[in-house]
Structure 1
Amino acid sequence: MDSNINETMFCFPIALEWTIAEERLKALKDLNENEFLESERFTAIHSSDVKYFLRIYPNGNNVANRGKTWTLYFLDLGKEIKIEAEYQFSIKSANWIFKSNRVFKEFDGWGPTCCTTDELFDPRKKFIVDGKFTLKLEGILKIKKVETNNEMGFLQTKLKWINNLWNIGFEDFTIVTSDGKELKVHKNILAAQSPVFAAMFKPHTKEAMEGKAEIPDFSFKIVEKSIKLCYNHDFDPDTSIDESFVLFKFAEKYDIQLLKDDIQDYLADKIDISNLCEIAQRAIDENAVKLRNKCMDSLSSFLSKKKFVPNMEVLDKTFFIAAIKNSSCHTCETL
Structure 2
Amino acid sequence: MIQNNEWSKRFRNHGEKDFKFIVGNESIEVHKFFLTLQSTVLSAMLENTNFKETQTGEMKIDGFKFETIKAVVGFCYGEDISSFMESTRNAIDLLMFAEMYDMDNLKDSIAEYYSTKLTKENVADIYKVSRETNAPKLRGVCFDFIYSIPKSERTAFVQANLDPAIHDLF
Structure with greater helix share of residues: 2
Distance 1:232 1:281, change over 3 A: same
TM-superposed deviation, 1:243? 0.6
The CA deviation at 1:233 is 5.1
Q: Which runs of 5+ in 1 are unaligned?
A: 1-152, 324-335
Find the counterpart in structure 2 of residue 15 from structure 1: none
Partner of residue 73, structure 2: 227
Q: Secondary structure at the match of 1:272?
A: coil
- Structure 2 segments unaligned to the other structure (5+ residues): none
- Cα-to-partner distance string for 1:213-236 (whole Å, 9 max, x where unaligned): 111221221111111101105232
Say yes or no: does 1:210 pair with 2:56: yes
1:181 aligns with 2:26: yes
Tell me, yes or no, if the aligned pair for 2:19 and 2:30 is still in contact at 8 Å: yes
Change (3 A) 1:237 1:183: closer
Residue 12 of structure 2 corresponds to 166
Q: 1:248: which partner in 2?
A: 95
Say whether the 8 Å CA contact 1:281–1:314 is kept in structure 2: no
The one-character-per-residue Cα deviations of 1:106-164 (angstroms, maximum 9, x if unpaired) are: xxxxxxxxxxxxxxxxxxxxxxxxxxxxxxxxxxxxxxxxxxxxxxx9x73xx111122
The amino acid that maps onto 2:30 is V
| TM-score with structure 2 setting the length | 0.83
Structure 1 residues 268 and 318: CA distance shift in structure 2, 3 A: farther
In the other structure, the counterpart of 2:169 is 322
Equivalent residue letter for 2:124 = C
Question: What is the CA–CA distance in structure 2 between the aligned matches of 1:212 and 1:276, rounded to whole Å?
Answer: 36
2:144 alignment partner, one of 297, 301, 306: 297
Percent of aligned pairs with the same amino acid: 29
Instruction: Letter of the 1:193 partner, please give it.
Output: Q
Q: CA RMSD in A?
A: 2.4
Larger strand share, 1 or 2: 1
Q: State how far apart, in whole Å, the 1-side matches of 2:167 and 2:158 are.
A: 11
Higher Cα Rg, which structure: 1
Equivalent in the alignment of 1:68: none
Q: What secondary structure is seen at the aligned counterpart in 2 of 1:269?
A: coil
- 8 Å CA contact 1:166, 1:228 repeated in 2: no
Name the amino acid aligned to 1:224: K
Alignment of 1:62-141 (within 5 A): none
CA distances 1:228-278 after superposition (whole Å, capped 9, x unpaired):
101105232463111111011111111111111111221222113443334
Q: Measure, in 2, the Cα distance between the counterparts of 1:307 and 1:233.
A: 38
Given the superposition, is the C-alpha separation of residues 254 and 166 from structure 1 closer, same or farther in structure 2, using an over 3 Å criterion?
A: same
Instruction: Name the amino acid aligned to 2:33.
Output: N
Question: Does the CA contact (< 8 Å) of 2:18 and 2:32 recur in 1?
Answer: yes
Q: How many correspondences in the alignment?
A: 166
TM-score, reference length from structure 1: 0.45
Counterpart amino acid of residue 266 in structure 1: Y
Secondary structure of the equivalent of 1:183? strand
> 2: CA distance between counterparts of 1:192 and 1:310?
40
Moved more, 270-279 or 245-254: 270-279
Classify the secondary structure of the residue corresponding to 1:234. coil
1:198 matched to 2:43? The reply is yes
